[in-house]
Structure 1
């Protein structure tokens, strides 16, 4: 069942040619099976045997074919028809296929479902194969293994998200529980090396086992490679999966520090790695496994590798996985970017800038000087609005330079990638002119000055070459041709002219021959039998048959009224016209190879320019955000300060603006002033290391808690913050325990998850940390929960000495504000009006007098009988003595819900009968006797003996 366009040699596996072979569906056929199969199927089985863990895409003409189990799996995953082709050991061979021109679409769907794909291409023209014999098959082999972490195609990647491949290596020794103990949650040191092969971005660092879940989320890797023995740890594999990555086992021998050091030096073109930092042996081992895996999957083609960023544990703000999820940094709880902090602050105009912004948001710094350097750059562009706007306008036209370079390095690039490099270099030059044009570049902050040095004048010669060579709108594929500009190469212009304008060429030749011979009736003609020939009438033919013209014009055919001739020049031109299209395409391929080689020679320069443009876009975007959203520059120091004045939640504030629901209510937060004295009466907010935040649900407690955590993250990533004033002593670890969730797959209830996360906070928080806790202890019995919350606050105060925002409904906890020196109570301000509650969303000093839970329940729409009954129970509980364990508590005296009103009576709707009767009475019209009778009547109505 050959499809149209398939070459003749591909029919070797058709049913009538098939021979008996081992069982269909075998993914690792035996040598006997291979030997007994048809030539094409034997080739497939041999290649499949070498790639047993991947779905094999076997190129046959215009299709990628899949056979046996691969076909069954792919047909289900892709929703395509499963058919059959020939037999194997007496059974039908399952088969399906995808057209080559739609390969990326299907490849993306398979990768997203977690499959690996081995792409097997034809390595020669079928015509060459036929020269070896009628039964010879085209040479084929796997040219790459496609895995989630090794994608480079533009159609398979999100332009605004990096695609990390990460290698994880457990450092030998240093783990008290032994090398075979579970890694996650331990104090073992692990090395992580990450590479985005689509851009060359590289990052290396170490972490503790207990921080691994947070690191997986921070890196956002698509694939994590781990030694096969280590991946047997189910907890580790589960956390990799939760972070959205594929876990891939590799041999432990891949983690070779010496090989890693040698390969990294080769990729960076240096003899010593000292200029890039001091790498540990564990980090080099992880790098070695990473680069070896890339080499294996790309079949020897080398990726572009930028100078690795080395991020140690002490240099970045550590945020665990649960905190990242609850704070919705890069993804909202729905899993979408919309509604996240990243979505709220992203003003970048390029994909590379968006990736840089996301990376910095995921990895805030703890080094004060580095943070201040970033803030200086943002502040400069905030104050230079015309320059900022000019840079952003220039960068809008800049394509993804880094990914274009990478595709060309892997041999997967096309003319559009060459043009992207030209446009990227042009944008870099224009941005440099904008920066230099500002007082000659004098007075630029250090960060901006360094960016200027990295883009100014870089790749100028390459830009000239690409601009001269490429047309303005080149095609996507080099095989289509037509991407080289006219006048770039004379041989190509001649071939194109012959291909596109043979009539004009022959007319010019005819004119020259008329002038040479003097025969005005001479014509250059063409037919399908003779091809091109020169024709003259019999009367005028004699001069061409005699010297000297006979030496040029050779007689070819005589007709009744005409004679036909040819010349060596005409035969040569005819041959050139016949092959002009092939020659034109071949010349263009040569030019493409030359340009790609020129790009390869400038890989490091181009990668650095791409990185600099991404940083410039990111910085200008943060400045634009600060300008339009009224963000201020935070003061960052090494003190224990945490003082936010007029702080706002960046995501909620923008949501209110879009909904036109009024302004966001700003609030202060003072968990320490870092020794800075404020004038007397500066404010009414307490200065305490721990704030106990009380108030009803829906009043904004969670928003207040989260906004202060987000402000700290924004400040330490180098951004201005949504506040009127902010001073933050650098935070080393940030914990956010907000909201309730279970983990039933691991046998953990909501309360168990709450306790596990709380335990992590109490065990890991330091005096420089920031802790956000919401409703600790609410998942269990009241006294149990209150006891746990009470003890946790005491521990955070006495042992951890950490900065804490602790929201609670346990009003009893507010007693700690009078007993612990660094604990203060604040509450969410509310007003009551006619039994309704009005949320003011303002934080004030003091504690809530009650929880207002019944009012919130009423707002939520609970039935009126339930609200009334709840008030009845609450009143009794508040007045009672709460004598427990004696059998006569207040609840025992309370009738059941059904007994609280006469049996069979409907739930009250509107005013009670007594109230109706009272409304009908006018006391001024009643005599003493009538008043007494009315009172008796009201009693009968209440008892149900009379109507209103």
Structure 2
């Protein structure tokens, strides 16, 4: 810029007048507030004494700032040029923006189209690059009440190296089956199965093909899940409280057109509390909400809900068990699991032998092992009926015992009455109760 060249010449002229080197003893600087000015250090301030040609502007720690009439005139020209430049620049920017605004709708539409193509391309890539190609689902209107997936797979698990994924089926239909209660050993594939179903429904709703051989899916209004176990320290919520808060949200927001996934509800409290809460939630899902739901649990008592509601189906993940091994087959089959395999898992994890022995002894006490010895090989529904009938008989025995007035009877009479009650109950033929009472001989 010509003005800047003249300012540099003014610096050299001022340095010559003061007898110093330009750029060393005397410097040229510029700020937004003052524009261009000369500067010398405080110790060189004496150079300006008696120099009427130069006007001191201010003295600061960095030095003395001053100018002369020539620099002042050039500085004003410089500031005017800068002001004009900024104004012209604003006008140019305004013109550019005015032109761009005219293309805003076009660019927005182009951006949306490119994004849509990008997403659909990603869907296509995922569907074709999977070990087994995805299929196009048949989408039914909301409220149709059908969820059918044939040989459904988990799209992430099957992509892992060295994994041969074992697919499974699911068929839910409102009015027939809406709730699947899933039992089975730990690491048997319950959570993966439920997540594969939820992911397939989700993929279908966002326009993707799904990882199964055949899919028929009614539109759902939401997919609600309660999976995993963790606390929330930031909110001050324990694992169990967080589970309760999330489950409460599911119960309050779900409708008959929702898909609900609940995995191991009620683990963070006592067995009776946890089982009671899980039971109540499962019953509410099938009786009141009537929404599609998958409910995995280790509370085997809950499987008896299937005897009360025809819309409930028991499923279990199968496994081959020996004394020291547990080999999950990852196959989902009809019916409840016959027992839990927690101690088998503990044995595989190399628990000390004395700990395992103690656990087995307590398990036998807690599970009424003596009562199970005659019915252990029964089909599940028969086994459950025998236990329920036995519990009812035990309740009746306790009521009769409470009516015995020991203050009016001798010890021999009390023993005789107890023996009569025992013989009376054995005569009912209930095998569960028979096993328990025989242990008292």
Q: TM-score range by the shorter chain?
A: 0.5 to 0.7
- 1:172-220 Cα offsets, whole Å, 9 max, x none, are xxxxxxxxxxxxxxxxxxxxxxxxxxxxxxxxxxxxxxxxxxxxxxxxx
Give runs of aligned pairs for residues 890-901 of structure 1, distance below 5 A: none
Mark the CA change 1:809 to 1:139 in structure 2 (over 3 Å): closer, same or farther.
Answer: farther
* Preserved CA contact (<8 Å) 2:265 2:274: yes
Q: State TM-score, norm by structure 2.
A: 0.62
Three-state SS of the structure 1 residue aligned to 2:212 is coil
* Preserved CA contact (<8 Å) 1:734 1:769: yes
Residue number in structure 2 paired with 1:632: 135
* Preserved CA contact (<8 Å) 1:647 1:666: yes
Mark the CA change 1:702 to 1:11 in structure 2 (over 3 Å): closer, same or farther.
Answer: same
* From 252, 259, 265, the counterpart of 1:763: 252
Deviation at 1:846, TM superposition (A): 0.8
Q: Segments of 4+ in structure 1 off by > 6 A?
A: 11-17, 127-130, 592-597
Mark the CA change 1:747 to 1:603 in structure 2 (over 3 Å): closer, same or farther.
Answer: closer
Give runs of aligned pairs for residues 278-677 of structure 1, distance below 5 A: 601-629=102-130, 630-638=133-141, 639-655=144-160, 659-661=161-163, 663-672=164-173
Three-state SS of the structure 2 residue aligned to 1:653 is helix
* Preserved CA contact (<8 Å) 1:622 1:719: yes
| Partner Cα separation in structure 1 for residue 40 and residue 347 of structure 2 | 74
* Preserved CA contact (<8 Å) 1:737 1:773: yes
* From 30, 40, 47, the counterpart of 1:9: 30
Residue number in structure 2 paired with 1:790: 279
| Partner Cα separation in structure 1 for residue 313 and residue 73 of structure 2 | 84
* Preserved CA contact (<8 Å) 1:837 1:855: yes
| Partner Cα separation in structure 1 for residue 341 and residue 252 of structure 2 | 34
| Partner Cα separation in structure 2 for residue 640 and residue 735 of structure 1 | 17
Computing the radius of gyration over CA atoms, which structure comes out larger, 1 or 2? 2
Three-state SS of the structure 1 residue aligned to 2:229 is coil
| Partner Cα separation in structure 2 for residue 729 and residue 15 of structure 1 | 83
* Preserved CA contact (<8 Å) 1:9 1:130: no
Mark the CA change 1:16 to 1:621 in structure 2 (over 3 Å): closer, same or farther.
Answer: same
Deviation at 1:624, TM superposition (A): 2.7
> CA RMSD, aligned part only?
4.0
Deviation at 1:752, TM superposition (A): 1.1
* Preserved CA contact (<8 Å) 1:700 1:828: yes
| Partner Cα separation in structure 1 for residue 128 and residue 353 of structure 2 | 49
Deviation at 1:861, TM superposition (A): 3.9
Mark the CA change 1:732 to 1:128 in structure 2 (over 3 Å): closer, same or farther.
Answer: farther
Three-state SS of the structure 2 residue aligned to 1:829 is strand
* Preserved CA contact (<8 Å) 1:645 1:667: yes
| Partner Cα separation in structure 2 for residue 780 and residue 598 of structure 1 | 66
Mark the CA change 1:15 to 1:855 in structure 2 (over 3 Å): closer, same or farther.
Answer: farther
* From 75, 83, 102, the counterpart of 1:131: 75
Three-state SS of the structure 2 residue aligned to 1:752 is helix
| Partner Cα separation in structure 1 for residue 332 and residue 363 of structure 2 | 26
Mark the CA change 1:8 to 1:717 in structure 2 (over 3 Å): closer, same or farther.
Answer: same
Three-state SS of the structure 2 residue aligned to 1:745 is coil
Give runs of aligned pairs for residues 169-318 of structure 1, distance below 5 A: none
- 1:819-840 Cα offsets, whole Å, 9 max, x none, are 1121110001111134311011
Give runs of aligned pairs for residues 794-833 of structure 1, distance below 5 A: 794-833=283-322
Deviation at 1:595, TM superposition (A): 8.1
Mark the CA change 1:716 to 1:128 in structure 2 (over 3 Å): closer, same or farther.
Answer: farther
1:744 maps to 2:233: yes
Q: State TM-score, norm by structure 1.
A: 0.30
* Preserved CA contact (<8 Å) 2:182 2:295: yes
* From 257, 264, 268, the counterpart of 1:779: 268
Deviation at 1:740, TM superposition (A): 1.3
| Partner Cα separation in structure 2 for residue 129 and residue 835 of structure 1 | 98
Alignment length, in residue pairs? Answer: 311
| Partner Cα separation in structure 1 for residue 73 and residue 295 of structure 2 | 75
Residue number in structure 1 paired with 2:46: none
Deviation at 1:620, TM superposition (A): 2.6
Mark the CA change 1:612 to 1:11 in structure 2 (over 3 Å): closer, same or farther.
Answer: closer
Structure 1: 5+ residue runs without aligned partners? 1-5, 18-37, 42-84, 87-126, 144-410, 412-589, 676-686, 887-948
Mark the CA change 1:874 to 1:837 in structure 2 (over 3 Å): closer, same or farther.
Answer: same
Three-state SS of the structure 2 residue aligned to 1:746 is coil
Deviation at 1:647, TM superposition (A): 0.5
* From 183, 202, 207, the counterpart of 1:713: 202
- 1:6-57 Cα offsets, whole Å, 9 max, x none, are 982249999989xxxxxxxxxxxxxxxxxxxx99x9xxxxxxxxxxxxxxxx
Three-state SS of the structure 2 residue aligned to 1:613 is helix
- 1:858-890 Cα offsets, whole Å, 9 max, x none, are 33343444333322332343326799xx9xxxx
Residue number in structure 2 paired with 1:870: 359
Structure 2: 5+ residue runs without aligned partners? 1-26, 43-56, 63-70, 372-390, 399-441
Mark the CA change 1:706 to 1:8 in structure 2 (over 3 Å): closer, same or farther.
Answer: same
* Preserved CA contact (<8 Å) 1:129 1:139: no
- 1:723-766 Cα offsets, whole Å, 9 max, x none, are 11111111112110011122233332111111111111112211
